[in-house]
Amino acid sequence: MSNEKIVGSVMVVGGGIAGMQAALDLANAGYSVYLVEKSSSIGGMIPQLHRTYPICICCKIDSRGVECLSNPNIKVLLDSEVIEVNGESGNFQAVVRDKDRTINLNAGAIVLSAGFEPFDPSGYDTYAYAQFPNIVTSVELEALQKPTGTNQGILRRPSDNKEPEKIAWLQCVGSRDINQGDTGACSTVCCMYALKEALNIKDARPRIEVSIFYMDLRAHGKGFENYTNQALAKGVRLIRSRVHTIDPVPGSDDLRIQYGDEHGHLQTESYDMVVLSVGLKPARDAVALAEKLGVNLDTNHFVQTRPFEPTTTSVPGIFVCGALNGPMDISNAVTNASAVVSQIGAYLGPTASPSKAKPSEILNISAEPINFMDVPVKKQALVVGGGVAGMESALTLAKQGYPVTIVEKNNQLGGHALFVSKTWQGYCVPDYLMRLINEVSNHPKIEIHLESEIVKNSGYVGNFKSAIRNSQSAITVEHGVTILATGAEITKPTEYLYGQNPNVWNWSDFDEQMINDPGVFEQAKTAVFIQCVGSRENERQYCSKLCCSFAVRKAIDLKTKNPEMNIYVLYREMRTYGDREDIYKQARLLGVMFIRYTLENKPEVCEKDEGILGVTIHDHVLDLPVIIEPDFICLQSAIVSQGSEKLAKLFKVALDKDGFFVESPAKLKPIDAMTEGVFLAGMDLSPKSIEESIAQGQAAAGRAMGILSRSTIQVGGVVAKVDEEKCVGCLTCVRMCPFQVPIVDPNQRVASIEPGLCRGCGICVSECPGKAISVVGFSDQQLIARTESLLYS
């Protein structure tokens, strides 16, 4: 870094969801922010959508925008464009022009977040989009459904305003396609948004027939598989085929679709409307600016980031978040933005003047003035779990001068990454991991407790107290924030002769073997990889997400070393989402064979004489059984959470039915836990790759900074209070509270509610049979008085 003075302000270019989140998190941590937006309003893509998946966040977008506009640390520049940037990391000078003037500003760092634009299918002659009015893009469909639109929320097709009865979605328009333009990557989000659109329409008008034509259903995220099953149960039809022709039906405005079904037979169906599920492309202006700044782009023209630094560009001081970083959904974009903030914090150092917490909307409608109490913040963090996510968050906070305590139950740091040889891009994991472990172990601000666990936790945001115990001793730490990053583990398969034949491997053991003895599998003549072992079936109805990329990566590495090797990947859906599509393509070019199987037709593994393996699989293209005799089989078994019930209870975090931690139901907070001041990162939330774990670890640090940078935190406001005279300790409130806040002291037999933890929903107040609880501003008397005054006026 140069000797130039580092400027504590940041320029964020692009005011979509990622840019807004980055601006707000930066402002909360005390930086001054210039939020530069090209259009005349902030919000980006989301305001154009009808509903978002999976939780609708439409009601939160406006308030986020208002927060940005009213935050004293954020200067929003609308209708503005960055013309020129000079200087260097720590001291950039930018020239920004709006409609009528030019502004010069200084910034210590720059965040590129100007997002994506939907693929424009006008030039896409196969689908005749420009020719027929009833072929619309998915974005246009959102607008057609919007209650504020011309049809007032009733879906009508453009040509004749008829309410459609049959609608088809065509996936991968402008994605996974190198014939028409250079759009090789998978856009990641289209499978889920098409399902969402289809399901929403089905919910509103059950008689409408909805069909989705797709190649691979990429439902790899948390809860996606469940949503897909729900859609199928409600009658959404999924057809695996790439449609090659759309023709008009003579004498009507309907459209005829011709496609080849799974058995290779030509089928023809008519639809009232066809929706093109258009892919995500990096926004043109954003790419132009990135090029001007000298930032490297990847093969798909998204901004390239450095290995193991998911938000750092090739130019020091310039960061990237949101869909400009690669196609991603809303919650990933928000996570990405918080990760950028933590990296800027570690880069520019902490600031002196954090902004005050903003009063919430609820204060305006309370029946009495709300008082808060200022409580000092313990400027220290507790990180539970010493894997990649935990270490990244600890290091990011320590670099800003905050003391961090790491508690790890094993006898060494590293977590699951210890068994990973390479990322899907081919980056070497052991090198990175050793660097990270060294840095964390030697950092003066980080205290590490190995073979230890948390046995007690009390307090609230800004003021937690936890007891840590190992076999010899027990200590207590005070901390302002908690980050849970307890990771996940790989299950042991119970099928395919695992444990019976030495050449049947579980993928973590397989990869560990490749770290220890890189050449070990190179001489094999034939290899088989079996996907979805224990995932997406029976009790585990979720996708383990990274296994497809793992198998494809391994196949490429083996095939490169030994081009003679026959490699078969037996899969159910190939979920190489986003840029991972590139390696899927590469593997096919190298001659790796991919054979799809269904749950009804799972591969069979048998052992012949002398331990020789045989795999039988039904090939869906040939419609014949194929017999393979592999030298080894690698099983990609399911990933299960290590987030234990005990920890969940201690920190008042919920577990979902698959055992993963649940993020806050407050919308747009993908890494906040239900309890304020507790953050979640890594695989304890859901299975994910190393780079995503890094981003989440850093994002948790970014969110934590918003609390640690303040000297005091406000406690109180709209919270519940117990009248000890009336309380009989019946435990109703304990059972009813969604956040497990009330506690009944067994000696006193009286409930107490910690104001620092209470969210003020008022559920306990209404449930309390003794009427012993009231909530400030919304007591029974106040609500009844309000009702009466309205009725008598």
Partner 1 sequence: MAEFEPKLIAFCCINCPSSSVTVCESMGMSIPTNVEVVRVPCTGRVDILHLLKAIESGADGVYVAGCSDGNCQFTDGNVKANRRIERVKKLLDEIGVGGQRVEMYRMSAAMGPRFAEVAREMTERVRGLGPSPLRR
Residues 6+ apart with CB under 8 A from 766: none
Among 537, 564, 665, 745, binds partner 1 (CB under 8 A): 665
Among 153, 181, 359, 625, binds partner 1 (CB under 8 A): 153
573 or 663: CB nearest partner 1: 663
340 or 772: CB nearest partner 1: 772
In this structure, how many other beta carbons lie within 10 angstroms of the beta carbon of residue 86?
9
In this structure, how many other beta carbons lie within 10 angstroms of the beta carbon of residue 200?
18
Binding part of the chain for partner 1, among 420-428, 455-463, 505-513, 778-786 by CB under 8 A, reads 778-786
Alpha helices in 414-506 (DSSP H): 429-442
Helix (H) or strand (E) holding 481: strand 481-484
User: What are the angstrom distances between the C-alpha of 490 and each of 94, 206, 635, 695, 734?
Assistant: 49, 40, 11, 21, 35
Q: Does 100 bind partner 1 (CB under 8 A)?
A: no
Whole-number minimum distance, CB 785 to partner 1, in Å?
Answer: 10
Q: Does 148 bind partner 1 (CB under 8 A)?
A: yes
Locus of tokens 């469909």: 141
| 207 token code pair | 């008689």
Whole-number minimum distance, CB 587 to partner 1, in Å?
Answer: 39
Whole-number minimum distance, CB 486 to partner 1, in Å?
Answer: 22
Binding part of the chain for partner 1, among 1-9, 290-298, 383-391, 779-787 by CB under 8 A, reads 779-787
C-alpha 548/C-alpha 485 separation (Å) is 24
Q: How many residues bind partner 1 (CB under 8 A)?
A: 43
Q: Does 765 bind partner 1 (CB under 8 A)?
A: yes
Q: How many residues does the chain have?
A: 793
46 or 461: CB nearest partner 1: 46
DSSP result, 519-579: TTTTT-SEEEEEEEESSSBTTB-S--SSHHHHHHHHHHHHHHH-TT-EEEEEESS----GG
Whole-number minimum distance, CB 645 to partner 1, in Å?
Answer: 18
Among 568, 594, 660, 778, binds partner 1 (CB under 8 A): 778
Q: Is the Cα dihedral 498, 501, 504, 508 positive or negative?
A: positive
C-alpha 200/C-alpha 197 separation (Å) is 5
If we measure between CA atoms, which residue out of 481, 486, 484, 485 comes closest to residue 704? 481
Binding part of the chain for partner 1, among 122-130, 310-318, 634-642, 775-783 by CB under 8 A, reads 775-783
Helices 58-70 and 17-28 cross at an angle (nearest 10°) of: 50
Among 1, 232, 365, 455, binds partner 1 (CB under 8 A): 365
50 or 703: CB nearest partner 1: 50
Q: Does 792 bind partner 1 (CB under 8 A)?
A: yes
60 or 97: CB nearest partner 1: 60
Dihedral of the CA atoms 9, 15, 18, 23 (nearest 10)? 30
C-alpha 354/C-alpha 369 separation (Å) is 25
Binding part of the chain for partner 1, among 48-56, 184-192, 305-313, 394-402 by CB under 8 A, reads 48-56
Whole-number minimum distance, CB 460 to partner 1, in Å?
Answer: 17
Whole-number minimum distance, CB 720 to partner 1, in Å?
Answer: 10
Q: Which DSSP category does 325 fall into?
A: G
If we measure between CA atoms, which residue out of 195, 186, 197 comes closest to residue 224? 195
In this structure, how many other beta carbons lie within 10 angstroms of the beta carbon of residue 75?
18
Residues 6+ apart with CB under 8 A from 676: 460, 461, 756, 757, 759
Whole-number minimum distance, CB 72 to partner 1, in Å?
Answer: 24
C-alpha 311/C-alpha 303 separation (Å) is 9
Among 666, 731, 745, 749, binds partner 1 (CB under 8 A): 666
Whole-number minimum distance, CB 671 to partner 1, in Å?
Answer: 17
69 or 736: CB nearest partner 1: 736
Sheet holding 255-260, edge to edge: 245-248, 255-260, 266-271
Q: What are phi and psi of 603, to 5 degrees?
A: -65, 150
Binding part of the chain for partner 1, among 31-39, 170-178, 361-369, 685-693 by CB under 8 A, reads 361-369
Whole-number minimum distance, CB 733 to partner 1, in Å?
Answer: 12
Locus of tokens 């779990």: 385
C-alpha 626/C-alpha 619 separation (Å) is 6
Q: Does 361 bind partner 1 (CB under 8 A)?
A: yes
Locus of tokens 């009232």: 272
Over the window 56 to 85, marking each residue x when it contacts partner 1 by CB under 8 A and - when it does not, the resulting string is x-xx--x-----------------------
Q: Does 736 bind partner 1 (CB under 8 A)?
A: yes
223 or 603: CB nearest partner 1: 223
511 or 663: CB nearest partner 1: 663
3-state secondary structure of 28: helix
Binding part of the chain for partner 1, among 54-62, 160-168, 234-242, 519-527 by CB under 8 A, reads 54-62
185 or 718: CB nearest partner 1: 718
Contact 6, 30 (CB under 8 A): no
Contact 96, 35 (CB under 8 A): no
Over the window 312 to 351, marking each residue x when it contacts partner 1 by CB under 8 A and - when it does not, the resulting string is ----------------------------------------
Q: Does 783 bind partner 1 (CB under 8 A)?
A: yes
| 205 token code pair | 């008008």
588 or 667: CB nearest partner 1: 667
Among 125, 629, 745, 788, binds partner 1 (CB under 8 A): 788
Q: Does 266 bind partner 1 (CB under 8 A)?
A: no
Locus of tokens 């790439």: 242
Whole-number minimum distance, CB 433 to partner 1, in Å?
Answer: 37
Q: Does 769 bind partner 1 (CB under 8 A)?
A: no
Q: Does 245 bind partner 1 (CB under 8 A)?
A: no
Q: Which DSSP category does 360 fall into?
A: P
C-alpha 770/C-alpha 88 separation (Å) is 65
Binding part of the chain for partner 1, among 141-149, 597-605, 637-645, 694-702 by CB under 8 A, reads 141-149
Whole-number minimum distance, CB 665 to partner 1, in Å?
Answer: 5
147 or 206: CB nearest partner 1: 147
Residue 520 CB-half CA count within 13 A = 14
Binding part of the chain for partner 1, among 33-41, 262-270, 603-611, 759-767 by CB under 8 A, reads 759-767
Q: Does 51 bind partner 1 (CB under 8 A)?
A: yes
Contact 683, 389 (CB under 8 A): yes
Whole-number minimum distance, CB 189 to partner 1, in Å?
Answer: 18
Among 156, 162, 492, 667, binds partner 1 (CB under 8 A): 667
Residues 6+ apart with CB under 8 A from 288: none
Among 299, 561, 738, 748, binds partner 1 (CB under 8 A): 738
Among 152, 442, 472, 538, binds partner 1 (CB under 8 A): 152
434 or 666: CB nearest partner 1: 666
In this structure, how many other beta carbons lie within 10 angstroms of the beta carbon of residue 520?
12
Q: Does 784 bind partner 1 (CB under 8 A)?
A: yes
Q: Does 767 bind partner 1 (CB under 8 A)?
A: yes
DSSP result, 592-633: -EEEE--GGG--EEEE-GGG-EEEEEEETTTTEEEEE--SEE
| 114 token code pair | 């100007």
Binding site for partner 1 (CB under 8 A): 50-51, 55-56, 58-59, 62, 146-148, 152-153, 361-362, 365, 654, 665-667, 674, 718, 736, 738-739, 759-763, 765-767, 775, 778, 780, 783-784, 786-788, 790-792
